[in-house]
Structure 1
Amino acid sequence: MKYKVEIYEDEDLDGLMIDVPKKIGFVVDLVLSDIQEDGSGIRLDLLNKVLSKESLYEEITGNTCTMEINYDITKIIFEFANEGQLDHSFIETEELKKIFMLWNEAIEKKYGNSR
């Protein structure tokens, strides 16, 4: 994995937290606001659809972020950025898939089949 990703249980929030490098910081907003503890589901499916070349491009908008998925690079757009603030980041699509899989594993480990 190219990026240092840490997923841990935050006792103050009584849930899982994720830390990633600042360069891909909007991954945190994507995971904590749009994916949450339900798992990456449809988002992982769309990544796989593009990575398998079944589709050239996919886009999905959630609670706070939009993902524009291309084969090599995915753009994550933070929908609530203030004017003049950075509103997007880029991550390699394959790396984002790995992060989603790590998140899904952490969810499964914490909750098992109860979710």
Structure 2
Amino acid sequence: MNIDNPISYLAEQKQIVLHEYCAEQSSLATEMHLEGTVRLAQLKDTMVTFGYHPVHFTRLKRLQVLVDGISFHVNESGVINANSIPSPDVFLTVMTKVGEMISLCIEPKVVAL
């Protein structure tokens, strides 16, 4: 199922695909790529401020967090995986929140001239 990307202002894709993740739970998953590098330590601190409990895997350069029932994995290079998505509507709402937090912690890609 294709949906408009709620954080298209940060991401490479204007639309994303929600795939079936777990048929037994009727949940969906997706992946998107941000246009920049994510400062994971800052993102962790930002998410804690908003009341979430992220786990920062420093060696793997990845952050994992559960936001309103959806599991997110964000890596330093800007790849976001989301799973356990109950519906597109819930995902849009939650991804908008996550996007606001990430937007505070992203370094745009620098293009060499």
- TM-score by structure 2 length? 0.31
Which is bigger in relative contact order (C-alpha 8 A, separation at least 6)?
Answer: 2
Q: Give 1 or 2: higher strand fraction.
A: 2
Q: Give 1 or 2: higher helix fraction.
A: 1
